Amino acid sequence: MNFLRLFVLLLVTLVAGCATQNANKDAGRNPYAAVDTSRTIDLTHPAHDIWDRIRRGFAIPNLQDPLVDEWTQYYASHPESMYRMSERAKRYLYFVLDELERNQLPTELALLPFVESAYDPQALSRSRASGLWQFIPSTGRHFNLKQDASLDQRRDPIASTRAAVEYLSYLYDFQGDWYLALASYNWGEGSVKRAMERNEDAGMPTDYLSLKLPDETRNYVPKLQAIKNIIADPKRYGVKLPPVSNTPYFTAIRKTHPLEVAVAAKLAEIPIEEFKALNAAVNHPVMTPEIVPTILLPANRVDIFKANLETYLKGKNGPGSGSEPGLHLVAMELDPTSATTSANATTAAPTRLRTRTSATTRDIIVRRGPNLRTHIVRKGDTLYDLARRYSTSVGELRRLNNLKNTHLKLGQRLRVPGTDVQG
């Protein structure tokens, strides 16, 4: 009996050794293979930097797909590009993370602008998508992002981030799956829904990996997973990340008089490129308070800006001129629930949408009221499509109908904005 136990132990040891050798060989063949980014994290101590804070909030299951390995290898083989993107991202990451955490969303979504725009607020695609989150004009207008000759809020880091958070919250609530939600963000929820319906009609699975998707969308989620892999363990991939403290990078300043962009940059003693990176929504060289009531400045430059402004105004107005100072400035806390922190004070904070792992459709009792009409849900209808059709928001439709989720069913009666009441 003792001999048998010894033989079994020897056999197990031998098999384990072979497995270790094979694993080492595989690692040598593909040093950039996707890693399991889930790990034990000590939450008893505050995050020591922004990257640590991001890692602590990872919540989307890791995608296992050959495309993930390909894109991880691609990004890892371009460490200079990763560093430049991270340098641009450091201006916005603290605010983005605050918004994600406030809305109970996974922190890896803070990495999505790496894929969308390389964290460049001036990025413009062939489809006219613009800003960190790459909103096309129509989607931007749906989320009340102002777009005209003076201002394009798709490039506003505050307004666009809040719009993206609201949209991603809605998509996850609609799909119940982060891979499908992300695919919908890239391709459109209607397109993803139709792809799922085609698979369902053919008796095929409707998960993300089973869908027939365009190449851009097929690579979209793997790209995000690849960035996540590198941020999770940059040393493994030979990538250096710039230091980014876990503190607010910018502060909002409210002003009451016009101010030139070039003058504002000089008063803050920052390069004009830095000022434009924070105030990318501004299209005009002169920022009037009616169009741009607030500006964003690096937090460590606010006092310098105010001191230089005082000197500048004294010289401009001169003693005994009887002129009032040209500007009144107030530093503002970036209260996530306040609309006044945006580069446009007319932009309201988005409705907070809860995320769930699953959602079910419930019957809605429709009550008639003034300036409302009844919409009967047809095949293909989504809350997002109906919000655009009736010039309202998803949040307002949910409020009007006491909807706990975004799922609709055929024949369902919904209250929508209108001048007449039907049914």
Within-domain flag for 20: no
In a domain, 352, yes or no: no
Structure token digits, residue 46? 């505050």
Residue 38: what pLDDT?
52
When computed from its CA atoms, the radius of gyration of the chain, rounded to whole angstroms, is: 26
DSSP state of 232: H
Residue 317 belongs to what domain range? 250-333
For the stretch 16-34, pLDDT in tens is 444 444 433 443 334 344 4
Domain count, the chain: 3
Is 2 among the domain residues? Answer: no
Exposed (0-12), middle (13-18) or buried (19+): which is 363, by Cβ within 10 Å?
Answer: exposed
Query: Contact 225/34 with Cβ under 8 angstroms?
Result: yes
Residues 54 and 201 reside in one and the same domain: yes
Provide the CATH number for the domain around residue 404.
Answer: 3.10.350.10
- Pair (192, 88) in one structural domain: yes
194 and 80 assigned to the same domain? yes
d(CA 265, CA 285): 12
Residues designated as active site: 116
Do residues 189 and 255 both lie within one domain? no
Residue 248: partners with Cβ closer than 8 Å, 6 or more residues away: 94, 95, 299, 334
Do 213 and 255 share a domain, yes or no? no
213 and 304 belong to one structural domain: no
Query: Does the pLDDT of residue 329 top 70, yes or no?
Result: no
CA of residue 324 relative to chain centroid, distance: 42
User: Do 179 and 62 reside in the same domain of the chain?
Assistant: yes
Share of the chain above pLDDT 90, in %: 61
Last residue of a domain, one of 187, 203, 237: 237
Q: Is the pLDDT of residue 364 over 50?
A: no
Same-domain pairing of 110 and 141: yes
- Is the same domain home to 232 and 298? no
Assigned token pair, 140? 């931007």
* 167 and 284 part of one domain: no
The count of other CB atoms within 10 Å of the CB of residue 152 is 23
Mean pLDDT on 63-78 = 98
State the pTM of this model: 0.72
- Could you tell me the CATH number of the domain that includes residue 137? 1.10.530.10
Q: Is 43 domain-assigned?
A: no
